[in-house]
Amino acid sequence: MPDLHYVSFASSSEGNAGLLSHGNTHILLDAGISARRITGCLGELGLSAASLSAILLTHDHSDHIKGLPVLCRRLSVPILWPGTTFHSKDPFTIGDVKITAFGTPHDAKPSCGFRFEAGEETLGFATDLGYVTREIYDNLRGVERLVIESNYDPDMLRDGPYPPSLKARIASRQGHLSNPDCAELLSHLAMEGLRHVALAHLSPHNNTPELAYNAAAQGLSGSECSLCVLDRKEMTRFC
Ligand SMILES: [Zn+2]
Ligand SMILES: [Zn+2]
C-alpha cells in the first residue's frame, strides 16, 4: 500500500465518507453515513475515532454530512468546511499532508475538491461536479491517484424514474459528472501521469458499476492505469 492512500467507507448519491491517510495523519473525508458506521469502518482499519486528525468536507449536502452532528458530539477534532475554514486557494497542511482545495460547479455553495500531496505522492479527489472546469483540470493534472465522480449514464438518466426537474438538475452544469464526461477527463489525465483511478459517487438509479467501469476503461484505453469502482455501501481500499 502506498504511504498516501484512501479507503472509501461508502460512495454513492446516498452517502459518502472515506479516510485519507499518510503515516499517522488520518483525515475523514466527508461524513455522509452514520457516525456508527464511520466508527465501525475506522475500527476495521485498527483505528479509533480519536485517531482522526481532522474532518474535511466537500460541501453541505446531506449525503456528505449526515453523520457529522453525532460525530461532533463525541469528538473534538477540527472540522474543515470549504469557504469558512479554508477560503483561499492557498494550500494548507494537516499533519504532513499538503492539501489544495479547488472549487467545483455544483448546486451547493461552496463546494470543492482536493489535491493531496505527501512527499512525491499525489492523490486527487473530486465528486459532485456538473462539469470539469479549467480550475479542476489544472488541480488534477499530474496526480498519480484519482478518486473521481462517475455519477450517471445519460441514457439511464433520460429513461429513468426521476421527475424531469430532477433529471435536469443532475445533468446541469451545477449537477453531477456523467460517465462520458468522466471518461473524457481520464483520457486527458492519463497522458499527464495518472496511474490509478477509483470511480466514485455512482447514482444507484441512473448508473451501474459496469456502465461506469466500461466508459472509464474506454477513456483510459492505451494507458497503463488501474481502474476500480468504489462500492456504494462497503469499504473499498483504493491502493
Ligand atoms: Zn453528493
Ligand atoms: Zn452534492
Q: pLDDT (tens digit, 9 = 90+) per residue, 175-194?
A: 999 999 999 999 999 999 99
CA of 49 from ligand 2 middle (Å) equals 25
Interval between CA 82 and ligand 2 midpoint (Å): 13
Burial of 159 (0-12, 13-18, 19+ CB in 10 A): exposed
CA 224 vs CA 75, 123, 196, 211, 227: distances in Å: 42, 17, 9, 20, 10
Q: pLDDT by residue (tens digit) across 124-176? A: 999 999 999 999 999 999 999 999 999 999 999 999 999 999 999 999 999 99
Q: What's the gap in Å between 131 CA and the centre of ligand 2?
A: 13
Q: Does the predicted TM-score (pTM) go above 0.85?
A: yes
Ligand 2 centroid distance, CA of 119 (Å): 31
Q: How far is the CA of 15 from the centre of ligand 2 (A)?
A: 10
Confidence of residue 45 (pLDDT cuts 50, 70, 90): very high
Residue 85 has pLDDT above 70, yes or no: no
Do residues 33 and 80 lie in contact, with contact meaning Cβ atoms separated by under 8 Å?
Answer: no
CA 136/CA 10 separation, integer angstroms: 23
User: Is the pLDDT reported for residue 82 higher than 90?
Assistant: no
Please report the pLDDT score of residue 66 as a whole number.
97
Q: From ligand 2's centre to the CA of 61, what distance in Å? A: 5
Which ligand is closest in space to the CA of residue 32? 1
What pLDDT was estimated at residue 98? 97
CA-based nearest residue to 102, from 89, 93, 92, 91: 89
Residue among 16, 218, 221, 27 nearest 123 (CA)? 27
How is residue 204 written as a grid cell? 444507484
Q: Which domains does the chain have, with CATH numbers?
A: 5-238 (3.60.15.10)
209-219 and 179-189 helices, crossing angle to 10°: 30
Instruction: Check pLDDT > 80 for residue 89.
Output: no
Task: Give the mean pLDDT of 207-226.
Answer: 97
Indicate if the pLDDT at residue 87 is higher than 70.
no
| Distance (Å) from CA 170 to ligand 1 centroid | 11
Please check the confidence at residue 22 and state whether its pLDDT lies above 90: yes
121, HSE (Cβ side, Cα atoms, 13 Å)? 17
Residue list, CB under 5 A from ion ligand 1 = 63, 128
Instruction: Summarize the confidence of residues 53-82 as an average pLDDT.
Output: 94
Q: How far does residue 67's CA lie from ligand 1's centre (Å)?
A: 14
Containing H/E element for 103?
strand 97-103
Q: What is the mean pLDDT of the chain?
A: 95
- Cα gap 42→60, rounded to integer Å: 22
pLDDT, position 2 = 77
Q: 125 CA to middle of ligand 2, Å?
A: 14
Once rounded to an integer, what is the mean pLDDT over residues 50-59?
A: 96
Distance 14 CA to ligand 2 centre (A): 10
Report yes or no: 185 and 132 within 8 Å, Cβ to Cβ: yes
Mean pLDDT of 26-35: 98
pLDDT of 56 > 90? The answer is: yes
